[in-house]
A and B are shown apart, each in its own frame.
Chain A
């Protein structure tokens, strides 16, 4: 029972319970004289820790007990803690003095329940029960049933025992590594190690049948490391305890495990939570918190006067997420309810709120973008639609113009046709004569060709006039030249109406970028409008088209007539659609002209000239590059 025994106990604490030793002693300290019963005061609970307060194993369990008790009683409980430090002070007289000290200390406040965490605390409280007082309920925790038997606990001492069943750990390993074909079980050379390995062999008898099983025992630590490094990849290894190796060296088992697992070529599982973070993938273990809570529940029942019996602290499957990753074991194979330690939370788990907000914002943004894109598309469609409408209207306008000019165009066309006919007939007469004048015949044929070309030109102008555009055809052209073409189209009509057409051309080129046919239509609309304005008999009829370069470098075409001019107050309305003063007019000519000019970034202005007639000015921007 000396130092060695204590140190073994300490080891056992760490290894078996996973460092958590809960010893619960309910020692009935004899109630002091005159002490009131528990009815009138808060219940008292004393927790005995085997070590000092710095050993995490017991303190975590102790904290779990405190938390559960305070929570369950709403704080109406007196909790006392004593750190016995038995591992460092195992001497008999120290223990005696400690017992005396505690007896004295608690003589006035005898606890209702004494909780002893760990084997040493249990032994202490059982041994000194009489000294500490006889009435308290004693609850022990943090070791297994066989240890309890060895301690020879009195029947009224109730324990929360921790049992280590290697089978559950093995099952977890199988589940995580389903393709494994080899099983290795590691055990040390101490008495306990041997015992443990023998127990495991018996427990695994069934399980190991499916595997090529090797029990590794009585090896030096170096041999363990070497063997582990040579495990086939389809292996699982179960580490029991190695308190001592074959050469007699002592180990804290988890340190031995750490050494072995560092270079192991297959995952190592262990039934102790202390192995976690020391290279073990995990196992079916008892956690400190779970043990603490179990003890606390027992305590509460004891305080309530309910009968209590020995219980088993709950086991959990616990794994080290880093080891899962190291061995490529799938999280999905974990049984439900498995605790993963050191698990790097996934991005979503870690930043779920941020991620949610960001993704919401992005989604909303995307939705808005999609809506805007959709809107843009609709807008473009509408623009295209409206442009198509405009082109349709322009084409109708072209057709109307062609219709209005058809008589004069037909007349114009009949000139060359008539000439061709007369020439041909003259030629045939000449040829029939006695000595035909071949020189004349040749001249006639040349003239026929020229007239044919003339007819062709007229027809192509007419065709242009009727040309339908599906899309605007951008061209660069000289406004003066286009004006000359328009005059050719109009000349016949002007002659028919007795209107004298004159033109004045800008000295420089006026390159404009637009659809030629459209701008020509503008000229025709304005000119026909002007000709329509000159119907009064007797008055001189003059139509003048003049191109020039404006001071601000724009191309300008002015079309002036000798009609009555635009009446005052009508300047604003003449460009409105359907405004007309003519019986047969549609009122669309000028309106379309303005729409076309504005489409090409220009302006159209109306005023009255000096001699009373109207003057329309079409101003278009010069094409890039300007005048030559």
Chain B
């Protein structure tokens, strides 16, 4: 299925024209006259899609809309279209995670390139997101005891000492350790520690203690 490009522009003529261009270029398109209209249908957005936002719109303007999108559809790539080269707005948009910032009028190849690039990046971002999501899910599946063991392991404490700290046998610790490596999808303890570090399990658990 072709990626869907969401065009949000208050100018009917402009969004229609861009829609025709993208449609002819093989994209699926969805046109919106305002940010509000777009947000209303955000739930149904297909995974492979991209948003072209006009910067200056009455009501919800481009930047405000982007802010909303970051919360509701963080993985949706955003390309800004602006009638004037406003450096300040451009910088702000890019900082907020926009993929590109194009000045109207633009050549079709520039637009198509920007869309293609942002879609590619979106794929990578989605994969990473999914990876992270899986890791987080695994971390969440650890029992309280397993988390405690993991926290101590991350600090480089030996099994024997952990057993002593937790008031249990080294053997039991070994069993926890084996379990949590398995639950986290790690191949060894080093990988498990690395995952734990990346997703902040340590900090979170330190607050617990």
Contacts and interface: CB of A to CB of B under 8 A. Distances in A.
Interface stretch (A267-275, A393-401, A411-419, A558-566): A411-419
A411 B83 contact: yes
A426 interface: yes
Interface stretch (A63-71, A126-134, A495-503, A580-588): A495-503
Contacts of B105: 414, 417-422
A462 B8 CA distance: 27
Contacts of B179: none
Interface residues of B, number: 28
A450 B106 CA distance: 19
Contacts of A426: 17, 20-21, 23-24, 108
A422 B83 contact: no
A447 interface: yes
A417 B84 CA distance: 12
**A418, A430, A496: which has the most chain B beta carbons within 10 Å?**
A418
A500 B59 CA distance: 8
Nearest to B81: A418
Given A419-B14, A450-B13, A498 B20 contact: no
A433 B11 CA distance: 28
B104 interface: yes
Interface in A422-448: 422-423, 425-427, 429-430, 433, 440, 444, 447
Nearest to B61: A498
B13 to A, nearest CB: 5
Given A430-B24, A451-B13, A422 B18 contact: yes
A369 interface: no
Contacts of A418: 14, 17-18, 81, 83, 104-106
Nearest to B25: A429
A447 B17 CA distance: 8
B108 A422 contact: yes
Interface residues of A, number: 33
Interface string B85-108: 010000000000000000111111
Contacts of B170: none
A415 B14 contact: yes
Interface in B71-90: 81-84, 86
B58 A500 contact: yes
B175 to A, nearest CB: 58
Interface in B1-33: 10-11, 13-14, 16-18, 20-21, 23-25
Contact of B17 (A411, A423, A498): A423
Contact of A444 (B20, B61, B82): B20
Nearest to A451: B13
B36 interface: no
A419 B84 contact: no
B127 to A, nearest CB: 31
B56 interface: yes
Contacts of A415: 11, 13-14, 83, 104
Contact of B21 (A422, A498, A500): A422
A371 interface: no
A364 interface: no
A425 B108 contact: yes
A492 to B, nearest CB: 8
B20 to A, nearest CB: 4
A356 interface: no
Given A495-B58, A500-B58, A420 B17 contact: yes
Nearest to A498: B61
Nearest to B11: A415
A407 B56 CA distance: 12
Contacts of B86: 407
A557 B43 CA distance: 46
B17 A414 contact: no
B85 to A, nearest CB: 9
B21 A429 contact: yes
B56 A419 contact: no
A422 B56 contact: no
B21 A425 contact: yes
Q: 6 closest A-B pairs (Cβ-Cβ)?
A: A411-B83, A418-B105, A422-B17, A426-B20, A418-B104, A429-B24
Interface of B: 10-11, 13-14, 16-18, 20-21, 23-25, 56-59, 61, 81-84, 86, 103-108
21 contacts: A407-B84, A411-B84, A414-B84, A415-B11, A415-B104, A416-B13, A417-B105, A418-B17, A419-B16, A421-B17, A421-B106, A422-B18, A423-B17, A423-B20, A423-B21, A426-B23, A426-B108, A429-B21, A447-B16, A447-B17, A500-B58
